[in-house]
Structure 1
Amino acid sequence: MEIDAIGEILNISLGTSATSVSELLGQPVKITTPKVKVMKTKNFNIKTYEPAIGVEINYVKGLDGQNILILKESDVKVIVGLLLQTDFSDREFVMDEMNIGAICEVMNQMMGASATALSQFLNRAISISPPNSFSIDNTEQFKNKYFPKDEDIVAVYFNLMIGKLVNSQFINVMRTGLAKELISNFGLESMAPASAPVPPAAPAPAPAPALAPPAATGQ
């Protein structure tokens, strides 16, 4: 699998969506530097993110599959607090109807913008279902629900910065089938290594000098 291509595609799509999230939250947002890992489900671990919040996104047009974002609950508290203009720093964050709605609103903006960027990048119409957010208490609970088989999965780790409030990471995880579909229309020329530049074209041969007209002969 072209890991570099996956990183480039998702960097373009999710990096572009940062603008929409920034406008929604009133803070500068940067989503950068994806690191792509292909691994067996049994080796996937999110303990450093627990307690975590998951966001499930299903593609309904243009792609076939499911994307899941995994964010730290502490980062989600900041995001929801900015959207609702509420300070959660000194109280427990509860996944109630209001907070779930706020998370889904932000993720809908983010992933909707991402789908638009993907549409332009892959030259096909892509749309998503409304996001579904949920709590993740531990890694095994999450894997049993979404990846019950020990299969290959693709995990993409992004840096997330929101003003001076968040400097963290989140994970975008998917099955390899969706990852392969994402890169199926990715031009092979875009995947050529930078160390192997295309050689310059040979210069065109200089035109032959025009022949002088024959000298006139006397009559």
Structure 2
Amino acid sequence: MTRSERLLALLQLLRRHRHPVSGATLAGELGVSIRTLYRDIATLQAQGADIEGEPGVGYVLRPGFMLPPLMFSQGELEALVLGFRWVQKFADAPVTKAATDALAKISAVLPAELAAELENTALLVGPRRIVDGEIVDLAVIRAAIRRERKLRLSYCDASGARSERVVWPVALGYFEETRMLVAWCEWRQGYRHFRTERMAAIALLEERFPRRRAAMLKEWRETDAGPRRARQA
């Protein structure tokens, strides 16, 4: 392992730990001496990495430090391109544009040989089979999820029956044939799954839902309402 590869590996190790981790643990995982580990940490700090700690106490990497794009491996670039291409094909327009812009930013700062790999990767995404017909703005749903705000939803079920709901949005799933909102439904008093093409109207409410979304997402995953047992509204 070269020194640059070792510094990158050290950053990745620190990123996996939210709390201080001892120098001995880091050195052991990297397969280097504790003296080498201390030198590597000093090098990263000099390059701008916000690493806090000291020998005998432990080290932690504070959020906000960005890895230089040139440090992506070929496999990492292929994974990024495949993910971006999937988003470009299956997501709604604002997210698609964001993915295109992000990929362009990465490509612009890569060394020439890696930029060429980015352009010529052979990993492709299959055809989109989603049934169009959405009339609501998914950006409103994403805003409600981020801000933990309630949504008023006018919804038609599979039989065409229309209902008015107030829901607590938890997640938005993108699939080949549909997009689906996971939410706690006040009317049903449980988690339900709403296909976006069946939404007739949505409105972002000022009222926040009374629980943290992260806790609700964990609960949804662990209960009978979870991903493999999805119940539609």
Task: Give me the TM-score of the superposition, normalised by structure 2.
Answer: 0.18
Between structures 1 and 2, the one with greater helix share? 2
Q: Which entry has the higher C-alpha Rg, 1 or 2? A: 1
Between structures 1 and 2, the one with greater strand share? 1
